[in-house]
Structure 1
């Protein structure tokens, strides 16, 4: 196998015309340059230089390797430039995974800010579930976790915000006239489920348990718009997080809940080794409102 460093020494000899001149340019001794060329000739299995007066000139094999050494040098320079651009946040790609309710209100403004600050970075947002772990093809995932949950090894969680659940009632419901609804007042109601099993449903079940009851789900939907439609049609009441109520159905009333107030906590999950990327840091700051 040919040694790339020795090929660059050969290139210096050929372009300068002598071993002495190449040694001066490289900061080597002439003897060291000659040794490097001799070792490369042994690797190549053929002579690479021939003496001409006080200088040297390349053989056909020497010209061939010198040309490839120039190409390698150019590619290395391009790689160094590309790496510097990537480390500075001028180029690159951010793969972002998020769940539906954070898209319009939380993620969209953050992505717009990062695009302005890092216009050369390609951002790839893809919809996923709120309890998905950090997949190999993602740089950042917006997830829901219980406060105090330990992140997986090598993953850092950044708390973004708490998202309180609110009572969604049919317009004509007796509790719709109240400004705030005690959760226990919904104990005897039929319920419309708005969340799939997992970290977004758990705060609802935990809060209802603290209020002394288990909700009676008569209809289930994992889509907030459909859940609101079920409520508006009179099928039951529901709890939907504030971020999921950016578009409200005209046939429902939304009221704050207390005693207790169910809340889900939203985090950004990133790999610890990736936190030095400027564009990723900018996205974390934008999501956290900094």
Structure 2
């Protein structure tokens, strides 16, 4: 097998036209250069240089290996540049998983900021259920995922959760409802109301149920929609009231009224999940920073 470093020594000798000149260029002794060439000739099974006056010139085999050494040298230089770009966060690829209501409010503006600072980094975005992406992060199929956890939820082995913001729920009432005159509602005000469900079973629904339990009642769901836009449509039709997180109210129905709620205020916590054992990535650090900045503005 040919030694790549010795091929670069041969390249220097051919470029300089002498062993002495190559030794000065490389910072070696002439004897060390000659030893490297001799070893390369043994590996190649052919003479690589021939003497011409006081200098040397390549044989056909030497010229062939010199041309390949040129190619290898350029490739190594390109690899070093590419590696430096990757390690500095100028290039690379990040796989990101997000859920629908975080898309427009958090992910879109964060990605826009990130791309302005890291234009060479490719970002793969994939919509996913807020409960599902943790296995993808743990197994390395995703670099970052946005997830919903209950405030104070337990740790997840192998995953580091970075808190972004708490997303409070708002009461959605039909226009003309008796409670619209109140600017802020106590959660118990809704105890006797029919409810329109807006969440799938999971941490988002648990945030509602836990808050209602703390207020001393369990909501009576008369409609299950599991979709914020659809839930608003049912509320507008007068079928009940609903709780929808603030980030989910981007497309507000014209025939509903939104009010804050307290005692207690239901809240879902949104986190960025990354793998604990993942190597340091400046690009990932930059994306986390962009998400934090956007989340801070949403609070």
Provide the TM-score with structure 2 as the length reference. 0.87
> Match for residue 8 of structure 1?
8
Q: 1:122 Cα deviation (Å)?
A: 3.2
How many pairs were matched up?
288
After TM superposition, the structure 1 = structure 2 runs for residues 116-195 of structure 1, keeping only pairs within 5 Å, are 116-131=116-131, 132-133=133-134, 134-135=136-137, 136-148=140-152, 149-153=154-158, 155-195=159-199
Does residue 202 in structure 1 map to residue 212 in structure 2? no
Q: Which runs of 5+ in 1 are unaligned?
A: none
Find the aligned partners of 2:23 and 2:97 in 1 and give their Cα distance: 54
Q: 1:223 Cα deviation (Å)?
A: 1.8
> Match for residue 79 of structure 1?
79
Find the aligned partners of 1:130 and 1:192 in 2 and give their Cα distance: 21
> Match for residue 91 of structure 1?
91
> Match for residue 111 of structure 1?
111
Q: 1:81 Cα deviation (Å)?
A: 1.7
The DSSP-based 3-state class of the residue aligned with 1:288 is helix
Q: 1:110 Cα deviation (Å)?
A: 1.9
Determine if contact 2:174/2:257 at 8 Å carries over to the other structure: yes
Does residue 235 in structure 1 map to residue 235 in structure 2? no
Find the aligned partners of 1:145 and 1:64 in 2 and give their Cα distance: 63
The DSSP-based 3-state class of the residue aligned with 1:150 is coil
Q: Which piece of structure 1 moves more, 8-17 or 68-77?
A: 8-17
> Match for residue 213 of structure 1?
217
Q: 1:274 Cα deviation (Å)?
A: 5.1
Find the aligned partners of 1:187 and 1:177 in 2 and give their Cα distance: 17
> Match for residue 23 of structure 2?
23
Deviations 1:217-263 (A, max 9, x none): 22222321111111112222211100101221112121111121110
Q: CA RMSD in A?
A: 2.1
Q: 1:91 Cα deviation (Å)?
A: 3.1
After TM superposition, the structure 1 = structure 2 runs for residues 229-268 of structure 1, keeping only pairs within 5 Å, are 229-268=233-272
Q: Which piece of structure 1 moves more, 207-216 or 227-236?
A: 207-216
Q: 1:76 Cα deviation (Å)?
A: 1.1
Find the aligned partners of 1:230 and 1:274 in 2 and give their Cα distance: 48
The DSSP-based 3-state class of the residue aligned with 2:204 is coil
Determine if contact 2:86/2:92 at 8 Å carries over to the other structure: yes
Find the aligned partners of 2:2 and 2:97 in 1 and give their Cα distance: 44
Provide the TM-score with structure 1 as the length reference. 0.90
Residues 190 and 269 (structure 1 numbering): CA distance in 2 closer, same or farther, change over 3 Å?
same
The DSSP-based 3-state class of the residue aligned with 2:46 is coil
Find the aligned partners of 1:284 and 1:103 in 2 and give their Cα distance: 15
Find the aligned partners of 1:236 and 1:38 in 2 and give their Cα distance: 89
